[in-house]
Amino acid sequence: MKSKLIKVHPQDNVAIALTDLWQGDSINFEGEDVIILSDVKAKHKITMVDLEPESKIYMYGVLVGKATETIKKGDVLTVDNVKHQASTTTGRTETVSYTAPDISKWKDRTFLGYHREDGQVGTANTWLFFPLVFCENRNVELLKDVFEKELSFHKSSKQRKLLRNLISGNNIELSEEEPEEEDAIFDNIEVRFITHQGGCGGIRQDSVSLAKLLAGYVNNPNVAGATVLSLGCQNLQIDIFQKAMDTINPDLKKPILIYEQQQEGTIDDMLNKIIRESFDGIKKANEIQRKPAPLSKLKLGLECGGSDGFSGISANPSLGYASDLLSALGGSPILSEFPELCGVEQELVNRCVDDEKAKRFLELMRAYEDAAEASGSGFDMNPSPGNIKDGLITDAMKSAGAAKKGGTSPIQDILDYGEYVTKPGLNLLCTPGNDVESTTAMVGSGANVVVFTTGLGTPTGNPIAPVIKVASNSILAGRMPDIIDIDTGAVIKGEKTIEEMGEEILEYIIAVASGETIAKADQNNQNDFIPWKRGVSL
């Protein structure tokens, strides 16, 4: 490690500890000696100047908080002496100049994907089962049990083998050997299942929103076809779902099988019909083969969760560089989590390609924050206990690092929740900061692969899109190797540049998109799906 401290931006008045520091340590930083006044854990921040109460604190070149008491140079920032504060934004103040990265080594590269009739290309080939209403969850679970057991899509886990041994009276330790694996009936199709708690109750707008999300999943190029279960009397009627599909893609040619229980008769009769007809669709979908596709066909979800004080200086900017490369290649990165863009609105507004996009971004941000405040909360309450413990003590501080996932390229489009990505280049999508809700939404807007940065570790995956996990530090990568795909700790240690790490991430994306590498979340069969319920419950 070349230094014990790092300042992200020349205008910052705080620095990040790259290693644990101890009271009394003297560190030469930027040509002057800094005396550490309190023990400081790695990832936390110390002030580089004396701060009086109400003094503004800058990091990443933006306002991230204010001092609530006197903080001497060399002392640590905490939730007790710092409060959230962010700059206000009213509109574009300048047009940001941008120089695209060199893509000469990538422009002729391809990935092996599943070509759909509408021109989209999938990184996976999935037949998807889901309900329009929670009343059908049990039937979806029954179908899941039948299809997964008979088609042998997932091998028996070590834990299942352990329980089997315990039942038979053999109390033995888990073996490190791979568990038994049955041969799959099909080798070119996955069958996945979604359940949820929506579709009825709540307000009608929630059902319309859910319909858009589910329609986006059907339209996602990773889906070859779908089986949809409806009860019949719920808020989310079949015609609402079909209208949502027509809005996204009026010429959709995928097989979509829809069943309404209240019109089908007995459960057995309905399930038998579903199994017969779905199996026929799955067999046909299995015939689709991977073929080369340009990298412009990639729609990349940019996600972070379980963030730490290193996320904004290693994993996120590295992913941001990969995002810039993909944008320059004609691909479509998607940056979401609007509560985690609080404080960096001005930079994002100035990067919008026109005033209309800038205006819509601010309208969505303000409407979201107003709704949060009306419920007695606010964006300032976004950092989780884990974030705070690992150095992210204000929402603006967290946001400034989180936004780095979006790189520096121009913002081509602004989308509300449930809207589908249609433009190449960086897109902003209004979603919550919740990891799974945000990932769920980006895939519903067309992401065919997701890269998920984390500093604390999170197992999140998705039913239809591969989710690649990127660790901000090598300690995490070593402690949780079963969920981490890429380690950006070399950036913290000064062994690799952001650009070098970003190129490695793009290479890994191509390998996963081609089916050559299986992301850890898929290896673990981690299929999370949580819709965003924006309204109250009635």
At 293-335, the pLDDT tens digits run: 999 999 999 999 999 899 999 999 999 999 999 999 999 999 9
1 pLDDT exceeds 70? no
171 pLDDT exceeds 80? no
59 pLDDT exceeds 80? yes
For residue 90, what pLDDT is reported?
Answer: 79
For residue 93, what pLDDT is reported?
Answer: 84
Q: What is the CA radius of gyration of the chain?
A: 24
How confident is the model over 453-475, as a mean pLDDT? 97
Give 44-56 pLDDT, tens digit per residue. 999 999 999 999 9
For residue 283, what pLDDT is reported?
Answer: 96
pLDDT-derived band of residue 205, with 50, 70 and 90 as boundaries?
Answer: very high
344 pLDDT exceeds 80? yes
CB within 8 Å of 301: residues ≥ 6 apart: 334, 336, 439, 442, 443, 447, 449, 450, 451, 465
How confident is the model over 362-385, as a mean pLDDT? 81
pLDDT-derived band of residue 450, with 50, 70 and 90 as boundaries?
Answer: very high
Give 104-143 pLDDT, tens digit per residue. 999 999 999 999 999 999 999 999 999 999 999 999 999 9
For residue 538, what pLDDT is reported?
Answer: 46
**What are the CA-CA distances from residue 317 to residues 365, 454, 482 (Å)?**
23, 12, 24
Least confident of 177-181, 204-208, 408-412, 514-518: 177-181
**Token output for 319:** 């992913």
Neighbours of 346 (CB within 10 A): 20
For residue 32, what pLDDT is reported?
Answer: 87
- List the one residue out of 79, 64, 81 whose CA is nearest residue 399: 64
Count the alpha carbons within 13 Å of 341 in the hemisphere toward its beta carbon. Answer: 27
How confident is the model over 276-300, as a mean pLDDT? 97
Q: What percent of the chain has pLDDT over 90?
A: 76
DSSP 152: T
**What are the CA-CA distances from residue 233 to residues 133, 135, 433 (Å)?**
10, 10, 33
pTM of the model: 0.92
How confident is the model over 8-36, as a mean pLDDT? 91
- List the one residue out of 507, 397, 467, 533 whose CA is nearest residue 8: 397
Select the more confidently predicted residue: 154 or 324: 324
381 pLDDT exceeds 80? no
Neighbours of 128 (CB within 10 A): 23
391 pLDDT exceeds 80? no
For residue 371, what pLDDT is reported?
Answer: 86
Strand extents, DSSP E, 181-234: 190-193, 223-230
What residue has token string 């809005």? 247
Cα–Cα distance for residue pair 474/360, rounded to 1 Å:
39
For residue 535, what pLDDT is reported?
Answer: 67
Compute the residue count for the chain: 538
SS3 call for 351: helix
- List the one residue out of 356, 372, 386 whose CA is nearest residue 454: 386
For residue 357, what pLDDT is reported?
Answer: 96
Least confident of 54-68, 282-296, 317-331, 409-423: 54-68
174 pLDDT exceeds 70? no
Cα–Cα distance for residue pair 190/143, rounded to 1 Å:
14
